[in-house]
A and B are shown apart, each in its own frame.
Chain A
Amino acid sequence: MPHTMRRRLAAATAVLLGATALTACGSSDSDDKAASGPVSLTYWAWAPGMDKVVALWNAEHPDIKVTVQKQASGDDLVTKIITATKAHKAPDLVQAEYQALPTLVSNDALADIAPDVAGVKDRFAPGIWQQTTFGGEAVYALPQDSGPLMFFYRQDLFKQYGLSVPTTWEEFATTARDLRKKAPDKSLTTFSANDSGLFAGLSQQAGARWWTFEGDTWKVGIDDAATRKVTDFWGGLVGEGAIDNQPMYTPAWNKALNSGEQLAWVSAVWAPGVLTTAAPDTRGKWAMAPLPQWTKGASSTGSWGGSSTAVTTDSKHRKAAAQFATWLNTDPVALAALVKESGIYPAATAAQTSGALAEAPAFFPNQPDFYTRAAEIAKTTAPAAWGPNVNVAYTAFKDEFGKAAKARSGFGTALTTVRSATVADLEKQGFEVAK
């Protein structure tokens, strides 16, 4: 049968690739000679254009040479870092999403760089800084970018169907129903069970705190009142058929955005980049507004994604690595380059209103004040609380909410299952969990 043979071939290739990777890693280890010869650092990152940003550093700092390696992105990179740490072959620096930090720290992959980065704390919003320190003295990473949630909608189609931009979630639901009445083949948006990060951000906006700890005991709040409110809201909309239930980031979804079958997308500040590739024909037709609120007149948002730069425990040049991480995430030149080359939204507050972000994204020529508004929204980001098994909760979310979205049967049971799966996993791993 083909698959067996194919798999063998794949395994052989993997062995070969592994061997090359090993030699590549092996050549980089040298003693900490920060004072004498030049230091070379490896950096696993996935942000596009990161090599160009790093080239600026390398030009200025001949004594510390940084090499960017695109190993994987997001969750896959977390797995890779943990595996590399076990083999003591981790790179010096890694890009890690905020929600992955506790998992990485729990696997002893990230070094505490507090002594090397004294004084940078004030460059970031407290809600963001807290995610890299877990509220303690140790600093496990420096914030790089953030992804405050916003509401993106098709300005032209909203006008065509006589819809107004919702400011509360209640209005959001009414808008969805109105649209269905006026154009039964169109949806305001979809609830995607494919990306747990969006749901986490929406819950965060409502005030949810999914992982908290007291003393040595973790508390899992995944089905707290705030999350339940969010769950019931979206479950209701999917249940009554007011919005679509198909996952995001599929060819079908791209088509729905491009053809105007879906009129809006609850997304983050990085949405213009996604829309550019997913819906290329709609340039200049979208607009951004603050996320709808739970109470009228409030202003709060959650975040979806965003990542940090961390130094690994395997790094033999912690000081040099921390120095680079500080430059990358606080130096105006570096931040301007990150905005330009990688298209990120910087976490450093000064950079959010800097010249680099003076111009709106090319896909949004109709909204010249895009980043001015974004900076205002970013200030209102609610804090997030991550724990050591976010991946498990996220996987349970995909499975359970996927099932529930498919059945359009409400999300209540799914949420309970996600929480119990998360707690069960923590207990199985031996964490102390509050009942």
Chain B
Amino acid sequence: MTQPPRGVRRSYGVKAAPYALPSPTTTLKRARSAPYFFILPAAVLFALFFALPIGYAIRLSFHKIEIKGLGLGKGARSEVWAGLENYTSALTDSELGAGALRVLGYGAVVVPVMLGLALFFALLLDTERVRARSFSRLAIFLPYAVPGVIAALLWGFLYLPDVSPFFYVLDALGLPQPDLMDGTPLYLAMANIAVWGGTGFNMIVIYTALRSLPAEVYEAAKLDGCSEFQIALRVKIPMVAPSLVLTFFFSIIATLQVFNEPTTLRPLTNGIPTTWSPLMKVYNDAFTGGNIHAASATAVVLALATFVLSFALLRLSTRRTTQGATR
């Protein structure tokens, strides 16, 4: 006897045995709906606290306030469609461009120095003969636990010649005292805060990747006569390349979004304008100028630029690393 087609047998089974185990169809249905059920909380939260605000910001960016008469009293302000007006003024605003350039300059210092140091420390901690490993790891990681605003205040006090112990020492030794809150040194001063705060976190990411590498690789390298230095350079670094890409990616995004440090340092000096970084300009437009519509447009532009830039860099670096792996 030939087997009846599956469908036939299934329907037959249902009819014949209503008390039997749940039919395959219902199980299948339930199995299919279960994943949706599980992602529901995340999807709802995502929609409520992520997609909705973004959608609202985009909506705002296409509107503006229209003022009647002197703009005083009830009904003087109404929201009207603005089209691309907010976008054109955001893109033609020289301050936004200047801010972006300042931030790129700052990032050019922060990212290589921070990741370089993080990699260096991670490799040092991973060597066999290292002492006080957990203490060093904690000590390097600790600044990350200091909130950004506190870190900026702390360093700000150290940068002000009149209250800084560093300057006191420089003065006592008769050495020149640089103005750290102005011009080019300002970028270094600001970058220093980010490096101080960020190195530990990136080091942990890279170090974790290093610890998860199999020991046989090192053994093989040693049998082949590699020194510790060569192992680090030829084995470890290529193998943690994905973590390096990841930390690089995070760092670029954080750099473009720098806000805490310049905002906290601003009242201490004439050298930092209120639009030093693009995010400061967004904040200023929205909360000082009261123009949330223009601020939304700038924020959307900034988000898109961050997205494009970070993904372009990500693609570039993954292509590099995969090439390196196949070679």
Of A1, A15, A313, which is within 8 A of B49 by CB? A15
Q: Which residues of A contact B202 (CB under 8 A)?
A: 1
| A4-B254, A15-B49 given; A395·B89 CB < 8 A | no
Q: Provided the pairs A82-B290, A395-B289 are in contact, do residues A430 and B65 lie with their beta carbons within 8 angstroms?
A: yes
Q: A245 interface residue, CB < 8 Å from B?
A: yes
Which of B161, B163, B273, B288 meets A402, CB within 8 Å? Answer: B273
Contact A79–B49 (Cβ < 8 Å):
no
Q: Does B66 sit within 8 A of A, measured CB to CB?
A: yes
Knowing A3-B148, A106-B72, A246-B270, the reply to whether A256 touches B162 (Cβ < 8 A) is yes
The chain B residue sitting closest to A134, CB to CB, is: B72
Partner of A102, one of B66, B72, B273, B287: B72
Residue A425 CB within 8 A of the other chain = yes
The closest CB in chain A to the CB of B287 belongs to A79
Given known A2-B197, A4-B253, contact A389–B289 (CB-CB < 8 A): yes
Q: Which residues of B contact A389 (CB under 8 A)?
A: 289-290
B269 at the interface (CB under 8 A from A): yes
Give chain A's interface residue range (CB within 8 Å of chain B).
35 or more
Of residues 262 through 300 on chain B, the ones whose CB sits less than 8 Å from some CB of chain A are: 267-271, 273-275, 284, 287-291, 294
For residue A69, CB closer than 8 A to chain B, the reply is: no
Q: How far is the CB of A76 from chain B (nearest CB, A)?
A: 8
* A194 located at the interface, meaning its Cβ lies under 8 Å from any Cβ of chain B in the complex: yes
A392 CA / B281 CA spacing, docked (Å): 12
A243 → chain B closest CB, angstroms: 14
From the candidates B77, B163, B294, name the one contacting A252 in the complex (CB within 8 A).
B163
A1-41 contact mask (Cβ, 8 Å, vs B): 1 or 0: 11111110000000100000000000000000000000000
- Complex Cα distance, B76 from A112, in Å, reads 14
Partner of B70, one of A5, A107, A213, A394: A213
* Contact A108 B74, beta carbon cutoff 8 Å: yes
Among A3, A7, A388: residue with most chain B CB under 10 A: A3
Q: For residue B253, which residues in chain A have a CB less than 8 angstroms away from its CB?
A: 1, 4
Decide yes or no whether B160 CB sits under 8 A from chain A: yes
Question: Does chain A have a CB within 8 A of B61?
Answer: no
B288 shortest CB reach to chain A, Å: 5
> Can you name the residue of chain A whose Cβ is closest to the Cβ of B73?
A105
Which residues of B sit under 8 angstroms from A60, Cβ to Cβ?
A: none
Identify which of A213, A391, A398 contacts B289 (C-beta below 8 A). Answer: A391
Residues of A within 8 A of B89 (CB): 428
Is A281 in contact with chain B by the CB < 8 A criterion?
A: no
Q: A288: shortest Cβ distance to chain B, in Å?
A: 26
Contacts A216-B69, A250-B160, A392-B289 known; A1 to B77 CB distance under 8 Å? no
Q: Does A75 contact B (CB under 8 A)?
A: yes
Out of A105, A247, A255, A431, which one reaches B267, CB within 8 Å? Answer: A247
Which chain A residues numbered 180 to 209 have a C-beta less than 8 Å away from chain B?
193-194
A399 in contact with B273 (CB, 8 Å): yes
Bound CA span A431–B69, Å: 7
Q: How far is the CA of A52 from the CA of B69 in the complex (A)?
A: 42
Residue among A193, A405, A406, A430 with most chain B CB within 10 A: A430
User: Could you tell me if B270 and A255 are in contact, using CB atoms closer than 8 angstroms?
Assistant: no
Any B CB within 8 A of the CB of A70: no
Verify if B62 is at the interface (C-beta below 8 Å from A).
no
**Given contact pairs A1-B201, A247-B269, A392 touches B161 in the complex (Cβ within 8 A):** no
**Docked-complex contact A245 and B270, CB < 8 angstroms:** yes
Q: Is the CB of B273 within 8 A of A403?
A: yes
| Min CB gap B90→A, angstroms | 12
**A residues in contact with B70, CB < 8 Å:** 213, 216, 218, 388, 431
Residue B260 at the chain A interface, CB threshold 8 Å = yes
Out of B194, B198, B247, B290, name the residue touching A107 (CB < 8 Å): B290
Q: Write the B235-279 contact mask toward A (1 if CB under 8 angstroms, else 0).
A: 000000000000100110110011010000001111101110000
Asked if A429 is an interface residue, CB under 8 A from chain B, the answer is yes
Write out the residue numbers on chain A whose beta carbons fall within 8 Å of the beta carbon of B35.
none
**Does B229 lie at the interface of the complex (its beta carbon under 8 Å from any beta carbon of A)?**
no
Q: Which of A75-110 contact B (CB under 8 A)?
A: 75-76, 79, 82, 102-103, 105-108
- A251 x B160 contact (CB < 8 A): yes
Q: Indicate if the CB atoms of A2 and B73 lie closer than 8 Å.
A: no
A110 to chain B, nearest CB (A): 9
> In the assembly, what is the distance between CA of A105 and CA of B69, in Å?
13
Distance in Å: Cβ of A151 to nearest Cβ of chain B: 24
Cβ A2 vs Cβ B289 within 8 A: no
Whether the pair A106, B147 counts as a contact (CB closer than 8 A) is: no
Identify the closest chain A residue to B74 (Cβ): A108
Q: Are B76 and A106 in contact (CB under 8 A)?
A: yes
A112 to B148, CA, bound (A): 43
Instruction: Give CA–CA (A245, B181) in the complex, Å.
Output: 13
B131 to chain A, nearest CB (A): 27
Contact A2 B254, beta carbon cutoff 8 Å: yes
CA distance A76 to B287 in the complex (A): 8
Q: Is B219 an interface residue (CB 8 A)?
A: no
Return the CB mask of A399-435 against B: 1 if under 8 Å, else 0. Answer: 1001101100000000000000000010011111000
Q: Is A56 an interface residue (CB 8 A)?
A: no
- Collect the chain A residues with CB atoms within 8 Å of residue B269's CB: 246-247
A293 to B61, CA, bound (A): 48
Tell me the bound Cα distance from A248 to B246 in angstroms.
43
Please give me the residue from chain B that is nearest to A191 by CB atom.
B270
The closest CB in chain A to the CB of B275 belongs to: A399
Question: What are the 5 tightest A-B residue pairs by CB atom distance, in nearest-first order?
Answer: A1-B250, A252-B162, A1-B254, A430-B67, A402-B270
Given contacts A247-B268, A428-B291, 18 further A-B contacts (CB under 8 A): A1-B198, A1-B247, A1-B250, A2-B198, A3-B257, A4-B257, A79-B288, A134-B72, A249-B267, A251-B162, A255-B163, A388-B70, A391-B290, A395-B274, A395-B289, A398-B273, A430-B66, A431-B71
20 contacts between A and B (CB under 8 A): A3-B198, A3-B258, A4-B250, A75-B288, A134-B72, A216-B69, A246-B269, A255-B162, A388-B71, A389-B289, A391-B288, A392-B289, A395-B288, A399-B274, A402-B271, A402-B273, A428-B89, A429-B65, A430-B65, A430-B67
A residues contacting B by CB (< 8 A) are: 1-7, 15, 75-76, 79, 82, 102-103, 105-108, 112, 134, 138, 193-194, 213, 216, 218, 245-247, 249-252, 255-256, 313, 388-389, 391-392, 394-395, 398-399, 402-403, 405-406, 425, 428-432
